[in-house]
Amino acid sequence: MPDAPLDPQQAMERLGRLAEEGERAVLEARTPAELEELRIHYLGRKAELTQILRSIPSLPEEWRARLGKSGNEARRALEALLEERSHSLAAGELEGRLRGEAIDVTLPGEPLGAGHLHLLTTTRRELEDIFVGLGYRVVEGPEVELDYYNFTALNHPPGHPARMLQDTFYFSDDVLLRTHTSPMQVRSMELQQPPIFIVVPGKVYRRDSDATHTPMFHQLEGLAVDEDITLADLQGTLHQVAREFFGGDRRVRLRPHYFPFTEPSVEFDVSCFSCGGSGRLRDGSRDPLCKGTGWIEGGGAGMVDPNVFGFVQKHGYDPEYVQGFAFGLGIDRMAMLKHGVPDLRLLFENDLRLLEQF
């Protein structure tokens, strides 16, 4: 406003024009930012309408009320119109955003990657299928086991190292986490007279942890009992399993060993499928898988000790008439060897980079 005295008549006319201009400008605004600029322009501290209202006290008394009333009405009208237009723009902006973000529920969703069985599960099932094809029956047993079935009935005398606390997880003196699936040998013979041909896959627990041992791992126990079963039958069975699981022209050798529940006891080795049993790779270097020996350790086995039959003799297992063999395979170790997994712990860490390879 000019510094000259305010002309009341001109001020009244100017208020009318400001009200019309402001209304038109507010209605034409398209964004909240434009509305804010208009609010400052028409209602701010330096706005023309504000300057007119501040000059009212200097007017003749007969003009003060008329000009004050008209000015305040114009200001309130613009304020109301600005607020209404602000709500309208916000609603329109929200509607546009919702329209842009709308989801057509009739459209097909993005396909999710299909899961698959864990390597240990596929290995276990592959071994089960092999033994079922050989006439064995798959049975399962409790992971929380009694000392009687885990040790006593398997010919582990009192004081045997396997019974010690540093090797076995105990709940009490008589209850423990099974250290092998072998307890199902006795449990199954209690329920079935010979002949019996079973394999027992499942989790077992021992106090051990390193690159080739974990506190929980998977084992597959096998038991065959009938008349006239010999160590040659055991070797033939293991040979067939090795060829079907590892493929190729695999060979099996037996080495003398000791286990409390078998006599004689053996450890069996499988000819290395990486180097063909030579111990050397094609470039002449030492095969790291078999450590240059040409053989891979497969597990423990042997003929069932007559003392074990003594615990189930009343169920038809008289050691004078029946013989049998038992063997134990490490499912985790079999998976490691077949697929080249360097550290047993990788199978339990749920790392998708490893799991997606299988």
Say if 185 falls within a structural domain: yes
Locate tokens 């600005």: which residue? 82
Q: Say yes or no: 70 and 148 in one domain.
A: no
Whether pTM > 0.85 for this model: the answer is no
Q: Say yes or no: 309 and 204 in one domain.
A: yes
Q: Say yes or no: 195 and 333 in one domain.
A: yes
Q: Say yes or no: 313 and 278 in one domain.
A: yes
Q: How far is CA 141 from CA 69, 200, 227, 269, in A?
A: 95, 8, 26, 27
Say if 229 falls within a structural domain: yes
For 234-272, write each residue's pLDDT tens digit. Answer: 999 999 998 899 887 778 889 999 999 999 999 988 888
**What mean pLDDT comes out for the span 103-108?**
80
**What mean pLDDT comes out for the span 19-45?**
79
Say if 324 falls within a structural domain: yes
Say if 113 falls within a structural domain: no
pLDDT-based confidence at 105, cuts 50/70/90? confident
Q: Say yes or no: 171 and 298 in one domain.
A: yes
Strand partners, 262: 259, 304
Q: Say yes or no: 133 and 266 in one domain.
A: yes
Q: Say yes or no: 319 and 178 in one domain.
A: yes
Nearest to 142 by CA among 208, 187, 86, 81: 187
Q: Both tokens of residue 120?
A: 């240990």
Most confident of 39-48, 56-65, 79-88, 154-163: 154-163
pLDDT-based confidence at 311, cuts 50/70/90? very high
For 134-155, write each residue's pLDDT tens digit. Answer: 999 999 999 999 999 999 999 9
How many domains does the chain divide into? 2
HSE (side-chain half, CA atoms, 13 Å) at 298: 29
Domain residue limits at 138: 119-355
Say if 112 falls within a structural domain: no
For 190-237, write each residue's pLDDT tens digit. Answer: 999 999 999 999 999 988 766 556 788 899 999 999 999 999 999 999
pLDDT at residue 2 is higher than 70: no
Looking at per-residue pLDDT, the higher value among 10 and 296 belongs to 296
Q: Say yes or no: 178 and 306 in one domain.
A: yes
CATH at residue 246: 3.30.930.10
